[in-house]
Amino acid sequence: MRTLVDIPDEDIKKLDALVARSKRSRAAVIREAVKLYLVQHADNNDWIERWAGLWADRADIPDGVEYQRAMREDRRPYEDL
């Protein structure tokens, strides 16, 4: 679908400079900007699904439960209170 949009000349100059640096078309850059805007202003929780498990394969990040247990090792059990 085509859409007619009025964009100020100053913004077009900046856009054209970006297009020249990125070696993409003006239309491609505008489509990407619209998509980014829609993602940032979405009223849903799709980001949870997209980012869940992002660092699951990282070996340098310890398991959260193991970390909590290690932090609490020096505490007395509740039975001793």
Give the tens place of pLDDT for each residue, 20-56. 999 999 999 999 999 999 888 877 777 777 788 888 8
Tell me the pLDDT band of 70, cut-offs 50, 70 and 90: confident
Q: What are phi and psi of 10, to 5 degrees?
A: -60, -40
pTM: 0.51
CA 56 to chain CA mean position, Å: 16
Cα 39 to Cα 21, 35, 68: the distances in Å are 24, 6, 34
Region of residue 24 (left: phi > 0; alpha: psi -120 to 50; beta: else): beta
Q: What letter does residue 63 receive in the DSSP assignment?
A: -
